[in-house]
Amino acid sequence: MKDPLFEPIQIGKVQVKNRIYMPAMHLNMAENFQVTDRIVEFYRERALGGTGMIAVGYATVDDLSGNTLNIGAHSDEFIPGLKRLSSAIKENGAISVVQLNHAGRYNFSFFLNGKEPVAPSAVASRLTKETPKAMDQAEISRTIENFAAAAARVKTAGFEAVEILSGTGYLISQFLSPLTNKREDEYGGPLENRMRFGVEVVQAVRAAVGDDFPLIVRMNGNEFMPGGLTNRELRTYAAKLSDEGVDALCINVGWHEARVPQIVSSVPRGAFAYLTRAVREVVSVPVIASHRINDPQLARELIADHMCDMAAVGRGLIADPFFAEKARSGREREIIHCIACAQGCFDHIFKLKPVECMCNPRAGHEVEKAPAKTGSPKKIMIVGGGPAGMSAAIAASERGHDATLYESGNRLGGQLHLAAAPPGREEFLELAGDLETQLAVKKIKVVINKNVDESLIDEEKPDAVIVATGAVPIAPPIPGSDLNHVVQAWDVLQGDAFTGERVVVVGGGAVGVETALFLAEKGKLSGDVLKFLFINKAEDVEDLYRLSTVGAKKITVVEMIESVGKDIGKSTRWGMMQDMERSRIEVRKGTKAVKIVESGIIVETDGKEEEIPADTIVIGVGSASFDPLGVLLDQKGIPHITVGDASKPGKAFDAVHDGYKAGNTI
């Protein structure tokens, strides 16, 4: 039987060898708009890994359309760098595409040397907190010409297709949407007029590149903005683009301002494919599905079930450049999956840092040569089977060392199991499984249920030790914390402790928030039950919403400082705060836990004490490093490196990267 994922597909005049499309993603790796070696090597590896078609960008069309960290296509001076990039992709077997875009009101005047961002109308942006300048007719015409000129440069640089970004709340979206287009001329008013700018961009680009050069448009399937465009109107736009001779449509969702999560792990895999299917029904060109497609089996099912014609795998290819080749060659179980944590990609973008990846420490560093095999293999003990320890063992083995991993518990993964407990965070278990698979593939010896002590060290006589023993939960000195109704957050998340109906969580950092959300799920409808009740019209829709968002417990989070979730990444935090509000979790900021009593907990806010009644008090104030071997190893003179939480409590990203670095250092 043929594999739908590896059937060739025709995009215009170009044949793509498989149905895997790497969509354009911000990398923050350009320097003053110029393509860098870092970008070239990043994409070279994804092409070498078997990806069918790769889009880079977005690339700028004029000096108001982006910032210096974007790839430039608005001047001939950028053509040599673009040529290097197209060659790296093509020479390694993938079809090369550049995405063109104009940010419009999503640009910051800070990036424009004080110039005003432009938009169809002077409607303030929630994202930038700035009000753009409304474009006049001359500026509209000039911008359309700029798109066309940039497309011509892309073709000159050797790329094999061009994509126009017509969604995500950027400039073309801003013309399409009634939320941001208040114009009264031929570019405003009814949908037909609001589509005009995007259509004219497509027409100008087509004229610039010719009929034989594939033209793709990436557009929203739904804006997910109150009062914005839904799939109904956007299907009309898609049909118009198809009629205009666009060769393929790539469907994404939402604006950056939308309050519907789009990229984080709480979004079910392939959740938005229904929008792609709806577009596919009204067009005559291939349609590409996007968002949270991180597994080959999901991608092939979407294609086989006629939901789409290609699958866009973005962060999945950051996590594993050889995603496609592993799937093609029957090695799917070896794929390192993106778990949508956003710690190294989107969180880095917000900090203007180059993209990296929690799951793949090599991502973003392809320009650096992989560490060579050692000429003097050593016997290495890795103590601790969490993400830091597993990453260290893998790296040490790749260097040619004789690595053995020891875990005192009965399973590998460490705190990844805690991270996976809250709703929508189950993907963290995928990483634990992927790392364990890598240990098996590389034939690394793993010993579980084994505590490493002095006698074992004396018996094994290692040349070096990597200590990855993790952390332990902090027990703050709160009077009454030894009472029977006081439990640790870690025990709650692991299912080792149960809570009453009224729960107070002490600590509003990541662990406290995650525990509160975990408990808030108790008593809510599951997805299967919700679907059953809905399709049988057993309850009113409003009642179903309430039963899906309000659980059986009354939960209060107490936090000393004036911020909750401060240590949670920006990409994830806003959604978790939204979930807390929706679940009716009470948050008490600037509140100190004074004393725990039988009937609840006494807290102090603004100098005033009060008692919050509670059946269970959950302590979730964080963790402290646990390193039981450092002093012993120093005494014995055995070289050692302490990594992950054993060195300093941090995120899973830090643990994986620390372990990888340590394994390569020895």
Burial class for 213, CB neighbours closer than 10 Å (0-12, 13-18, 19+): buried
Which residue is it, tokens 């107490």? Answer: 558
Rounded-to-integer distance, Cα 570 and Cα 351, Å: 10
Rounded-to-integer distance, Cα 306 and Cα 303, Å: 5
Please report, as a single letter, which amino acid is at residue 354.
P
Q: Report yes or no on 372 lying in a domain.
A: no
Kindly state whether residues 467 and 479 are assigned to the same domain: no
Rounded-to-integer distance, Cα 122 and Cα 364, Å: 37
Rounded-to-integer distance, Cα 612 and Cα 596, Å: 10
Kindly state whether residues 555 and 631 are assigned to the same domain: no
The residue among 532, 491, 509 whose CA lies nearest residue 616 is 491
What CA–CA distances, in Å, run from 336 to 1, 432, 437, 600?
26, 10, 9, 45
Q: What is the CA radius of gyration of the chain?
A: 27
Q: 3-state DSSP call for residue 618?
A: strand
Q: Report yes or no on 510 lying in a domain.
A: yes
Q: Report yes or no on 314 lying in a domain.
A: yes
Which residue is it, tokens 């692991």? Answer: 494
Kindly state whether residues 436 and 515 are assigned to the same domain: no
| Helix (H) and strand (E) counts in the chain | 23, 28
What CA–CA distances, in Å, run from 500 to 600, 615, 616?
11, 5, 6
Residues in the chain, how many?
Answer: 666
Kindly state the DSSP code that residue 34 receives in the 8-state scheme: B
pLDDT attached to residue 389? 98
Kindly state whether residues 530 and 419 are assigned to the same domain: no
Q: Report yes or no on 164 lying in a domain.
A: yes
Q: How many CB atoms lie within 10 A of CB 43?
A: 27
Kindly state the DSSP code that residue 78 receives in the 8-state scheme: G
Kindly state whether residues 291 and 340 are assigned to the same domain: yes
What CA–CA distances, in Å, run from 538 to 170, 176, 541?
41, 39, 9
The residue among 636, 206, 190 whose CA lies nearest residue 457 is 636
Kindly state whether residues 450 and 486 are assigned to the same domain: no
At which of 602, 621, 640 does a domain end? 621
pLDDT attached to residue 371? 86
The boundaries of the domain holding residue 542 are 475-621
Please report, for the domain that includes residue 435, its CATH number.
3.40.50.720
Q: Report yes or no on 261 lying in a domain.
A: yes
Tokens of 392: 């260290």
CB 287 within 8 A of CB 308: yes
pLDDT attached to residue 1? 76
Kindly state whether residues 169 and 261 are assigned to the same domain: yes
Rounded-to-integer distance, Cα 446 and Cα 460, Å: 14
Q: Report yes or no on 199 lying in a domain.
A: yes
The residue among 343, 278, 272, 277 whose CA lies nearest residue 308 is 277
Kindly state whether residues 221 and 131 are assigned to the same domain: yes
Rounded-to-integer distance, Cα 93 and Cα 53, Å: 9
- Tally of domains within the chain: 3
The residue among 476, 475, 506 whose CA lies nearest residue 620 is 506
Q: 3-state DSSP call for residue 538?
A: coil
Please report, for the domain that includes residue 507, its CATH number.
3.50.50.60
Kindly state whether residues 107 and 199 are assigned to the same domain: yes
Kindly state whether residues 26 and 110 are assigned to the same domain: yes
Q: Report yes or no on 90 lying in a domain.
A: yes
Please report, for the domain that includes residue 152, its CATH number.
3.20.20.70
List Cβ neighbours of 353 (8 Å cut-off, separation of 6 or more): 28
Mean pLDDT by 10 residues, the chain (666 residues): 94 98 96 97 98 97 96 98 98 98 94 93 93 97 98 98 97 98 97 98 98 98 96 97 97 94 92 97 97 97 98 98 97 96 92 94 93 93 98 97 97 96 94 97 97 96 97 95 96 96 97 96 96 96 96 97 92 93 96 96 96 97 95 96 96 96 95
Burial class for 257, CB neighbours closer than 10 Å (0-12, 13-18, 19+): middle
Kindly state whether residues 213 and 302 are assigned to the same domain: yes
Q: Report yes or no on 615 lying in a domain.
A: yes
Kindly state whether residues 23 and 89 are assigned to the same domain: yes
